[in-house]
Amino acid sequence: MIRNDLRNIAIIAHVDHGKTTLVDQMLKQAGAFRENQVVEERVMDSGDIERERGITILAKNTSVHYKGVKINIVDTPGHADFSGEVERILKMVDGVVLLVDAAEGPMPQTRFVLQKALEFGHKIIIAINKIDRPDARLNEIGDEVLELLLNLDATDEQLDSPIVYCSGRAGTASMSPNVEGKDLTPLFEQILEHIPAPHVDTEGPTQMLVSSIDYNEYVGRIGIGRIERGSMKVGQQVTVCDYHGNTKPYNAKLVTLYSIEELGRQPIEQAQAGEIVCFSGIEGVTIGETLCDPEHVEALPFVKISEPTVEMTFMVNDSPFAGREGKFVTSRHLRERLFRELLKDVSLRVNETDTTDAFRVCGRGEMHLSILIENLRREGYEFQVGAPKALLKEIDGKTCEPMERMIADVPADAVGSIMEKMGSRKGELVSMNPKGADRMRLEFIIPARGLFGYRTEFLTDTKGEGVMSSVFNGYQPYKGDIQKRTTGSLIAFETGEAVGYGLFNAQERGPLFIGPGTMVYEGMIVGENPRGEDMAVNVCKKKQLTNMRAAGSDDALRLIPPRQMSIEAALEFISDDELLEITPESIRMRKRVLSNTERLKKTKGGKK
């Protein structure tokens, strides 16, 4: 049976190319909101961190009705670190809308998500977005996308994909770059015309693959997926099985069933094959499992999610200030929370270590893990993490490391310094193309560890005008040692409160990370030493008060404002012998060995 009343699509693109804004306009123009309703921008980005950073982290479902057809839409993340979300979501849909920025063109993540969509054999609609940008290159972008499709071995049918010219912010679409659109009707028409209706068996035994998981305090775990065959109804008995045989099949009962209607979920009694639905009542269900009819237990194959490339050690906080600010501070709390995260994040791995106080956490990139850290600290957890490391792999007897394809869009006068930095980090130049009158686009293949800590340098070298992004590009033999950091750390000499006089003397040594009134402890990192070696400074030193005064000696001390370190910046900064202490209120960097005398003994012993 062909269900002409239904279309299932995903919107895929590189980060910041306007997916969520376009979904906003699709919802508005399909009548999802009242005339006088006040709607926030990027209504699909519901998480606090998503709204603050302006990025999509979790894939989300919505639906609109157009000409009597229900269009299920999945808004996906654009950042490479969350590409595990995109990979599994593509299993739920029959076609994709590929969004490309009218000025930037195809970027690394565009290539990655498009490759995955082509592997599934999905139909593609190319939407060139932000056509109202002053630097838009409408005629060239279409050619660049077709070139990308050719590189990725697209079929003739996929090469013949329609191109729609959109402005997500204005809510307009047109089939020609020279004709201004009035609304999104051309895009809706292409979805009905070009994306195939689900071809399903509604009479057969029930079969559904769980592609996503949500959690609700009232009903527990909520599974989301598309019914591949048959129908589902409330109270139905099903068998839960796993294609890879990791879990033993078990029977369960569907307690509730919801269909996705616009921004909400509507309780329903029954749903047919082809529909994307949510269900609850099966506590242990996880992503990749199949719900079947007990008489016909057949597990559906689940896409193998790409392996993590970066690892970090999460450990219990043992600093002198441990337990002052956090609510959950023990290893039991940390272990439970990390293993709970595995239930909804398929591209994360958590392993026990030799000690009960530390856990190895592997993810897709620094950002993937820094979002996890931010979520934990907002929930009241207190812990420490080590510096990120690339995950090495043994392939054919050779040690191999993950490589990244990095694209940098930089001013022409910064090319020299970028090339120099990339060379020292074992990066290989793949292509170099002029973009406009005074900008260049450079493409490198570089070890993943070569990009750790590079973003700050990159922004300095390009005077804040450069744009860089990277995506995983397979494994290659180990490239040798890379010097991670050329600067040293300024370390607090004693425990106490930082005062203006001590900071004034310390700032001559290098940029500081703390201001007056900050509580510090011995071994805590308070600044950066440009000389490349660690140095202990006394930021708690007060001025000796005497009754002797010299003219001008009491002038006001001028303090340089401290550099505020975010979690990402701190992860980039710390080296292997340093840790990042995370609490709900503070982010502190520290040495693994806190005692200055113990550290000096170790370094002297090492030099001998």
DSSP string covering 28-71:
HHTT-S-TT----SSTT--SHHHHHHT---S-EEEEEEETTEEE
Question: pLDDT per residue over 385-439, tens digit each?
Answer: 999 988 888 888 889 999 988 888 888 888 999 999 888 888 999 989 887 778 8
Q: Which of residues 78 and 483 earns the better pLDDT score?
A: 483
Pairing mode of beta strands 519-520, 467-477? unpaired
Q: Which of 93-107, 490-504, 510-524 has the lowest mean pLDDT?
A: 93-107
Which residues are annotated as part of the binding site?
A: 16-21, 129-132
Alpha carbon 415 to chain centroid, angstroms: 28
Distance (Å) of CA 565 to CA 497, 527, 568, 587: 19, 11, 8, 8
Mean pLDDT in residue range 56-83: 78
Residue 38 has a pLDDT of 59
Give 508's DSSP letter.
Answer: T
Question: pLDDT per residue over 6-33, tens digit each?
Answer: 899 888 888 777 778 888 888 887 776 6
With a cut of 90, say whether residue 313 has pLDDT above it.
yes
Question: pLDDT per residue over 527-539, tens digit each?
Answer: 999 988 889 999 9
Q: Classify residue 552 as exposed, middle or buried by CB count within 10 Å of its CB (0-12, 13-18, 19+).
A: exposed
The CA-based diameter of the chain, rounded to the nearest angstrom, is 98
Residue 608 has a pLDDT of 43
Contact of 85 with 66, CB cutoff 8 Å: no
Residue 35 has a pLDDT of 61
Q: Could you give the CA distance from residue 279 to residue 453 in angstroms, rounded to a whole number?
A: 43
Tell me what the pLDDT averaged over the chain comes to. 84
Residue 579 has a pLDDT of 93
Question: pLDDT per residue over 112-159, tens digit each?
Answer: 788 888 888 888 999 998 888 888 888 888 888 888 888 888 888 888
Pairing mode of beta strands 95-101, 69-75? unpaired
With a cut of 90, say whether residue 383 has pLDDT above it.
yes
State percent of the chain over pLDDT 90: 18
Residue 350 has a pLDDT of 93
Give 534's DSSP letter.
Answer: -
Q: Where are the alpha helices (DSSP H) in 98-176?
A: 108-119, 138-151, 156-159
Which residues are annotated as part of the binding site for GTP?
A: 16-21, 129-132
